[in-house]
Amino acid sequence: MRFQIPQFIEIENKIVGPLTLKQFLYLAVAAGISFFFYFVLAFWLWIILTAILASIAVVLAFVKYNGQPLPKIIFSAFGFFWKPRFYLWQRTVETETFAVKRETLKDFLAGTPSVKKLWQDLMTTKNPIPKREKGLRQPNLGGSLQEKFQIFRKTSGEKEAARRVDYR
């Protein structure tokens, strides 16, 4: 199936003969002001003002600069001058002094517990390591050991029981 693709969408439609609506309005406003001045001013002053108004209307209606219509450039210029932007970059140098405390790796690691010692404590001690394990319960000596189960939630939300294995 083929579709009709519009082309030349940047070009305004010609509404009044060979003129677009904006061009026609620029010329019509200038003609209306000139018509009003014909009855108000002297003839020689009317000729001068009509020539000035006609030239301004023609320039606004037909002149383009770098593909942009002149009214758009004028509005942009007024916007720039009305709210000027002033950016000034000044480099600020902040000097900060601080003391460097040098310590060796041995001094740095002295405060941390040894992994080897923790592993040895986990494997050999019967007492719980504080904040790590709970105390061990003594099994029933006369009876058989019962298996312990723990209920946990899966990521899907359903509950499941699993056997708890204690490796001590």
59 falls within a domain: yes
Overall pTM > 0.75: no
Greatest mean pLDDT among 18-32, 122-136, 137-151: 18-32
- Give residue 19's domain range: 14-82
Phi-psi region of 141 (alpha: psi -120 to 50; beta: other; left: phi over 0): alpha
For residue 3 the two structure tokens come to 């579709």
If one counts every other C-beta atom within 10 angstroms of the C-beta of residue 61, the result is 19
159 falls within a domain: no
Number of domains within the chain? 1
Q: Give the largest CA-CA distance in the chain.
A: 131
Do 62 and 23 meet the contact criterion of CB atoms below 8 Å apart?
Answer: yes
104 falls within a domain: no
42 falls within a domain: yes
Residue 121, pLDDT score = 73
